[in-house]
Amino acid sequence: MNKDESWETETLVVLVTAPSAEAQTLATKLLEAKLIACANILPSVLSIYSWKGETAVDQESLLVMKTRSEIYAQLEAKIKELHSYEVPEILAVSVERGSKAYLDWVKESLSKVGN
């Protein structure tokens, strides 16, 4: 496997739900911290879940963020620091394949992290 192919498995899509009023601020702060290359915000998702023995229903936003696996721990810590929820949803999904040009852009966008 050449270096370009291995890069694909280092890219993560991170999903986070947040109150709609908080989503853009959260995404902006994570971008400014160079922990994500970009974020897409789906402005209205209906979340139904169990919380402390009760069924909860909330209107939220869904953030879809792209990052590198090597900085995931930093990203998760920063989300927990900034997020208003006691237990925020933070799910990371490995990118198996994608457009080489796009994956290269993600890599370049985050190339100065840790330097």
pLDDT at 111: 82
Q: What is the tally of structural domains in the chain?
A: 1
Q: Give the gyration radius of the chain's Cα atoms.
A: 15
pLDDT at 64: 98
CATH number at residue 8: 3.30.70.120
Provide the residue range defining the domain that includes 77.
3-108
* Burial tier of 58 (Cβ tally within 10 Å: 0-12, 13-18, 19+): middle
Does the residue 113 lie in any domain? no
Does the residue 42 lie in any domain? yes
**Contacts made by residues 54-58, CB under 8 angstroms, sequence distance 24+:** 58/19
pLDDT at 5: 53
Phi/psi for 58 (5° steps) reads -135, 145
**pLDDT digits over 70-112, tens only?**
999 999 999 999 999 999 999 999 999 999 999 999 999 998 7
Q: Structure pTM?
A: 0.89
Check pLDDT > 70 for residue 6: no
**Is residue 13 within 8 Å of residue 75, measured between CB atoms?**
no
